[in-house]
Structure 1
């Protein structure tokens, strides 16, 4: 099993539309990824441990069966997926695929 982690840094001037992300972008992604998805979780950053601003505005974890299938879908639908980002944020996402141990 693998986990796709997407982080949106909390940068000055950054904005994030959680309603659009939750109600439009995530369902589109789930539809594209199909039965490769085991679970998904969207989190809103609140604060750092020391009480300062959260380092990330939004965090997404999606557990998947196949990293190769994920990469294939992202390659095939790259323009659609990346083109939708402007609809919910002006931040550049950090994306990482992890192997669950």
Structure 2
């Protein structure tokens, strides 16, 4: 199993509409990626590791798949539409990481 993490770094000029992301964009992702998507979650950053420290990321979306190939096959046909929607909720360029789930 793999996890695709889409992470939105925090910053002084960062704009992010969590309500839109959590409802409209998340639903768009779920509707487009279909049954090959094995799990999906949205995290909102609330703090860093030290007292009073801001979260390093405003938000993260996590998508779970059986394999990288399964992710590519489901995301590829919808990439343009999903990426175009980013302008509706943020000015942040997300960081993407694909990880192998070990446990």
TM-score (norm 2): 0.89
Asked if structure 2 preserves the Cα contact closer than 8 Å seen for 1:36 and 1:66, the reply is no
Q: Alpha-carbon deviation of 1:85?
A: 0.1
CA distance in 1, matches of 2:19, 2:66: 27
Does the CA-based 8 Å contact 2:36-2:74 persist in structure 1?
no
In the alignment, structure 1 segments of 5+ residues that lack a partner are none
Corresponding position of 2:47: 47
Q: Tell me the residue number matched to 2:3.
A: 3
Contact preservation (8 Å) 2:16, 2:90: yes
- Residue ranges of structure 2 left out of the alignment (5+ in a row): none
- Measured after TM superposition, the shift of residue 31 of structure 1 is 1.4
2:94 paired with 1:77:
no
The runs of 4+ residues in structure 1 deviating greater than 2 Å are 72-75
Cα distance, 1:93 vs structure 2: 0.4
* SS of residue paired to 2:23: helix
Give RMSD over aligned pairs.
1.2
Superimposed CA distance per residue, residues 9-45 of structure 1 (whole angstroms, 9 cap, x where no aligned partner): 0011111111111111111111111111222111111
* 1:41-94 per-position Cα deviation (integer Å, ceiling 9, x unaligned): 111111111121111000122212232122123322221011000001000001
Cα distance in 2 between the residues matched to 1:69 and 1:80: 19
Distance 1:64 1:18 in 2: 24
